[in-house]
Structure 1
Amino acid sequence: MANIPTEKAPKPGLNIYGFDSPNPAKCRIMAEKLGISYNYVNLNPGIGEFKANWYVGSVNPNGKVPAIVHVKEDGTSVTVWESAACLLYMAHEFDKDNKFSYSVGMPEYWSQMSWLSWQISGYGAMMGQAAHFNRYAPSPEEGATSRFVAGDRMTVADFAVFIFAHSAKWCGIDINEFPHVKAWHDTLAQRPAIQKAPQVPGPFPFGDEAVSKTEGPELEFLRGIRKVGTQGIKAAHDEWKKKVVPVPSDWANYEEEAPPASDKPQV
């Protein structure tokens, strides 16, 4: 931790590292619902602070957000990264009464784990891809019921799914086309803690209401973040010069006979 800038160094207690995006908001929602104090360390994505040597070397080797650093009373600390791992750690450490989680081994626990895993591997990933192509890519390309996600009460799985449903329009999706999802979203959105969490450290800029504004600082922010995102994606695309390694099953999806290997295009 010695190389972390003083203003970014973890303080005693729970520290959440992130910036304005859905995944860090999951952790803020969890902390607010648990009613625990936390230090939110806001990183600057515009200068790539989440890729800085101090962050990658001391907080998250994957260079992503969120990450948490829990500095305990005895001076020891635990660092966790990836949103699902952060949520489960927070449930283990701060939700001893299982208000928003289930005890390990219960059938409901595994249901919670299934939905949480679905969120991080399927729903969240696809929403991220939708935002990538619909909002950041230089050239856009074509091509639940009212009960809670993990059972009959709110759990960490709901927190993880909610913030992406809350950002549906930014991903190019009209949540109103899915009335059951909309009703579930609106039920959670009425909870004071879930209303508060997206306001840390400032108003969440990707919610449907925020992205629909035609003027004001929100619009200017979104224009700026899209410009930065588009430039970053284009730079990464231009840098990728490798060819796809061929395998024997190539061309199996074509009805016509595959051309000789020497005639196959190198992509």
Structure 2
Amino acid sequence: MIDLYYWTTPNGHKITIFLEETGLEYTLKPVNISAGQQFEDSFLNISPNNKIPAIVDRRPDDGGKPFSIFESGAILEYLSEKTGRLMPPDLRDRWQAIQWLHWQMGGFGPMLGQNHHFKQYAPEKLPYAIERYDKEAERLYGVLDDQLRDKDYIAGEYSIADIATYPWARLHERHGVDLKDLPNVARWLNTMAERPAVKRAYAKADTINTQATVSDESKAILFGQGRRK
């Protein structure tokens, strides 16, 4: 039913976790972003921003032709609506989940991505950039810890907000974040990691991308692209 164009990144993991949680039929279509496959015309027709993940719903609910969606947050909202799963039915609870999904999409993911980039991949270590994103990572993890203080899950019950946030938060060591002062995040991470669907999603990832290193060639593909003409 769902073709998932995917690579083993935090944003890619969001969608495999959702699909494993719901049991929705899907086919993985690996897109090796280190090899530049995201720039092939066949993929750009589905994801014009040349980013994974993207999906094609072969049986959309309107009964029409196959329907493609890009952007991981939009995909999660679409699949949640399609399945009626992982989104609270109550108005207030539903908007709790939606706003925390957007918090992840607009801040937690992009800022942590920059944090990791400037510490791990930048050819020149820029103290200002490293400090700026370290401080933002500290702030964002603190926001998450505060939200989880009296909740098992981010929006109260398990939802797409948790699915969106977990693949980034599990990389806290890369972000220079120590969980000793974030007990609620630590508890939540352990709970998420034990979910069978999460385990299945990461087990699939291990079979797809077996190359852990990033080469100079792949860096040029991943980080050196301007507008493509």
Per the TM superposition, whether the score is higher than 0.5 is yes
Q: Which has the higher contact order (CA 8 A, sep 6+)?
A: 2
The structure richer in helix per residue is 2
Change (3 A) 1:156 1:16: same
CA contact 1:14–1:71 (8 Å) conserved in 2: yes
Distance 1:203 1:176 in 2: 32
Q: How big is the shift at 1:61?
A: 0.7
Task: Show the 5 A alignment for 1:30-179.
Answer: 30-56=18-44, 58-72=45-59, 76-94=65-83, 96=84, 98=85, 100-103=86-89, 106-142=91-127, 143=131, 144=145, 145=148, 147-151=152-156, 153-179=157-183
- Give the match for residue 139 of structure 2: none
C-alpha offsets along residues 116-175 of structure 1, whole Å, 9 cap, x if unaligned?
A: 000000111111111111111112333323521112x10000000001011222334334
Change (3 A) 1:141 1:147: farther
Partner of 1:76, secondary structure, is coil
CA contact 1:17–1:68 (8 Å) conserved in 2: yes
Distance 2:111 2:158 in 1: 23
C-alpha offsets along residues 15-58 of structure 1, whole Å, 9 cap, x if unaligned?
A: 111111100110100011112221011011222111112211x2
The reply on whether 1:18 has 2:22 as its aligned counterpart is no
Distance 2:46 2:180 in 1: 38
Partner of 2:113, secondary structure, is helix
Percent pairwise identity: 27
Change (3 A) 1:130 1:54: same
Change (3 A) 1:204 1:157: farther
Using the size of structure 2 for normalisation, the TM-score is 0.80
Structure 1 stretch 225-234 or stretch 131-140: which is displaced more? 225-234
Structure 1 residue ranges without an equivalent (≥5) = 1-12, 206-216, 241-267
- Give the match for residue 142 of structure 2: none
CA contact 1:138–1:234 (8 Å) conserved in 2: no
CA contact 2:34–2:222 (8 Å) conserved in 1: no
Distance 2:175 2:69 in 1: 27
Partner of 1:162, secondary structure, is helix
CA contact 1:138–1:230 (8 Å) conserved in 2: no
Change (3 A) 1:203 1:135: farther
Change (3 A) 1:16 1:169: same
| Equivalent AA in structure 1 for residue 163 of structure 2 | F
Pick the structure with greater CA Rg: 1
Structure 2 residue ranges without an equivalent (≥5) = 132-144
